[in-house]
Amino acid sequence: MSNGTFFEYDFNKPGFTTIVTPENSTLKFISSGTLNLNNERFEVRTGNEEMGIFCIGGKACCEIDKVCKMINKYDGLFIPPHNQVNIQTKEEVKMVWFSVPSNMKSKPEIIYFDHVSEDPDTHFVSGSEKTSSRRDVYQIISKKIKASRLLAGITIGDNGSWTSWPPHEHGAQREELYIFFDMPYPQFGIQMVYSADIASPEICKVVKEGSAVAVPSGFHPNVAGPGSKLSYIFIMASLEEGRFREFSNVCFDKRFVKEA
């Protein structure tokens, strides 16, 4: 079901699928979907958009400048506009793609998760066990990547923990899409979005494996159910090309900052 805010991703559906677009969502720029291949070759062409691809299962060969480079789970691929990358697989591979309009001139780039996780500029622990809000945040398409609008990565929370806490928002600078994965049944969480009072959220929705939530604006905290941990891809798009690509450029709900 989609009302412009909630979407469902099928990580097992073969081929290239489009799920979220500016035409069917509350977002202005972000499009996204899945790319699932099995012993096949696929040519990605970006046209007038810059694109990110995250591998969420399996491994594949990405041919860039006639050189084949392997990507594995959690690795990312950034492709600027007017470029193409050939992806070759010898096994089942599951990927999530996302794109935004762009005029950036740069080159395709693979971002290896091992490098991201070892770099304190792109991997950090936020929150605390004391406040049940500890999580690992991995910035895969970070400000280090020569992109126009995109910032994207992966957040993995602790069991039963809040993430995106304390509540924050960045609606004047960036829109965002959350895609939940690696949450096998019966794991679940609750996603909230509110503009003024957390006690009266505009959105309060159960999320699970394959759920996606579009957040054009508003504070957007979430929490995992008991015995569950939240794992999601976050995709942010700057509302202005070449600006607001600072991950820390957010506004916190000051009522909850001391508790975090």
Domains and CATH numbers, the chain: 6-243 (2.60.120.10)
* Type of residue numbered 214: A
CA distances from 76 to 32, 34, 112, 121 (A): 15, 14, 6, 17
Give the H/E segment covering residue 118. Answer: helix 113-118
| pTM, full prediction | 0.96
The pLDDT tens digits for 130-155 are 999 999 999 999 999 999 999 999 99
**Is the confidence at residue 260, as pLDDT, over 80?**
no
The pLDDT tens digits for 24-47 are 999 999 999 999 999 999 999 999
Nearest one of 83, 135, 87 to 105, comparing CA atoms: 83
**Tokens matching residue 228:** 């569950």
Q: Are 220 and 169 in contact (CB under 8 A)?
A: yes
Residue matched to tokens 């899409």: 177
Residue 44's SS3 state is strand
The pLDDT tens digits for 217-248 are 999 999 999 999 999 999 999 999 988 888 77
Residue matched to tokens 């740069």: 106
The pLDDT tens digits for 64-80 are 988 999 999 999 999 99
